[in-house]
Amino acid sequence: RSDIKAQYKLSVRDLKLSDAGIYTCEYGTHRAHTSLHIVNLTISLNGHFLQNEVPELILTQNSSSPLPDLSITLFDSNNNRVTPEIQNKNLQEYIVNLKKLKTMDSGTWVCQLHSDSPLINQKISFEVKVLGFQNPDLERKYATVDSTVILSWHLNSQKIKWRKGFTGHLNWKKQEGAESHELLDFNVTAEGQLHEIKKSNNLLFEIPESKPESTIEVKLPKVHFNHSGQYQCQLEYEGRHAQSKIELVVMKVSANPAGPLSRGASVTLTCQASGPLAPNAYLSWERVNGTKMDIKKSKQGEVKLEVNITTSGLWSCHLIEDRDKKITFHYHVEEASVWINNVIIGASIGGSLLAFALGCLCIISGVSWQRRRQRAKRMAQARQHLLENKTCQCQQ
């Protein structure tokens, strides 16, 4: 593994740790000594990771002289200094664990070694590839009933030029711990070709044909309230897994009663979200072009908000998170037509008059009945008086 490159120059290829030592060059009675210090850096899984995995670096050194105490500094692919956790250090071998990787950590890393005695200032570069989703670990998507929603997961396999194939699944469940439904399976070839197979008809969803490369998508053309829940996309590579979840929150509104608002009447508007909201999210009702008195907000943790109104017009329910309106659902409260109001007013007046007439009739009937009763009582008393007088005359 060695040859003479030029006069007094020796080249050694494919260095190994065992090549460390003292090399002597003799020329006549002259001798020159050179100490060769060798450092070997290895990275777990050959530098191919899934997101959220923890890489392990092993630094091994060999020298003919006492081994130096090395100072290790790491820089990620964005040239940011990384603070590692050194698990083991015995001068000959250093074991370093890093934090969980993200897809943005892919690229060329640098390990910088330093020692004062002997003087060492060496940089070793190594490649890190992190396969995973460019989505956040947990993403919330908001939709209204009967709207169209597209859920997307963006893989970074093309971006990091991942040269190996992998598979994956997309599952849906109503809530944590509920039964999981398989929506589709997919596989990505070493050439980056994506193939998808629909697995379930539990939801009326579609797989869009036109979409960005390395993107898993499902389309819900008409969202139902019970389509909400957790949509989890999981990829598998050499028995290891990485996943990304989208929480779909669906909102609906209703009115009771649902018909036009009559003059003097009221209606209850209800706005409801399908699942738990973020800690900094809430629901809010307001009337378009209304006043501050027309605004009502839900309390923290409430997923249902009701408001009693007596004013017609366009009312809006907002789902607000971090002062940002994530979604808005409009509901138009119609005002009853004039003839309907007249019919209602006429019916009310007619009913009042009818009740008054019935009351008067009852009073008149009662008075007549009372008079007839009194007249009958007087006649009975008169007959009794006549009978008593006749009895007295006969006795005389």
Query: pLDDT band at residue 326, thresholds of 50, 70 and 90?
Result: very high
Mean pLDDT of 302-328: 91
pLDDT digit string (tens) for 227-275?
999 999 999 999 999 999 999 999 999 999 887 888 778 899 999 999 8
pLDDT digit string (tens) for 5-47?
766 788 888 899 999 999 888 888 898 888 899 999 999 999 9
pLDDT of amino acid 388:
59
Query: pLDDT band at residue 111, thresholds of 50, 70 and 90?
Result: very high
CATH level 2 (architecture), domain 139-250: Sandwich (2.60)
pLDDT of amino acid 126:
96
pLDDT digit string (tens) for 127-151?
999 999 999 888 999 999 999 999 9
Write the DSSP assignment of 130-159 as a string of letters.
EESBSS-SEEEEEEETT--EEEEEEB-TTT
pLDDT of amino acid 291:
80
Spans of all domains in the chain: 21-131, 139-250, 257-333
pLDDT of residue 182 exceeding 80 = yes
pLDDT of amino acid 203:
74
Share of the chain above pLDDT 90, in %: 54
Q: Which residue intervals of the chain are DSSP H helices?
A: 338-395
Q: Which residue has the tokens 């509901």?
A: 331
Confirm whether pTM is higher than 0.85: no
Query: What is the topology classification, in CATH, of domain 21-131?
Result: Immunoglobulin-like (2.60.40)
Higher pLDDT, 309 or 4: 309
Domains 21-131 and 257-333 share a fold: yes
**CA 113 → CA 68, 94, 110, distances in Å?**
11, 12, 10
In this structure, of 205-209, 308-312, 365-369, the range with the lowest mean pLDDT score is: 365-369
pLDDT digit string (tens) for 149-175?
999 999 999 999 999 999 999 999 988
pLDDT of amino acid 381:
65
Mean pLDDT of 282-307: 89
pLDDT of amino acid 376:
66
pLDDT of residue 322 exceeding 70 = yes
Burial classification of residue 147, based on how many CB atoms lie within 10 Å of its CB (0-12 exposed, 13-18 middle, 19 or more buried): middle
* Strands 296-297, 240-256: pairing kind: unpaired
Separation of alpha carbons 294 and 165, rounded Å: 57
pLDDT of amino acid 44:
96
Sheet holding 324-333, edge to edge: 296-297, 281-287, 313-321, 324-333
Identity of residue 75: F
pLDDT of residue 347 exceeding 60 = no
pLDDT of amino acid 43:
96
Separation of alpha carbons 61 and 120, rounded Å: 12
pLDDT of residue 217 exceeding 90 = yes
In this structure, of 64-68, 82-86, 244-248, 343-347, the range with the lowest mean pLDDT score is: 343-347
Query: What is the topology classification, in CATH, of domain 257-333?
Result: Immunoglobulin-like (2.60.40)
Mean pLDDT of 332-340: 68
pLDDT of amino acid 386:
62
Separation of alpha carbons 101 and 110, rounded Å: 16
Mean pLDDT of 54-82: 93
For the chain, what is the mean pLDDT? 86
pLDDT of amino acid 390:
53
pLDDT of amino acid 396:
44
pLDDT digit string (tens) for 73-100?
999 999 999 988 777 888 899 999 999 9
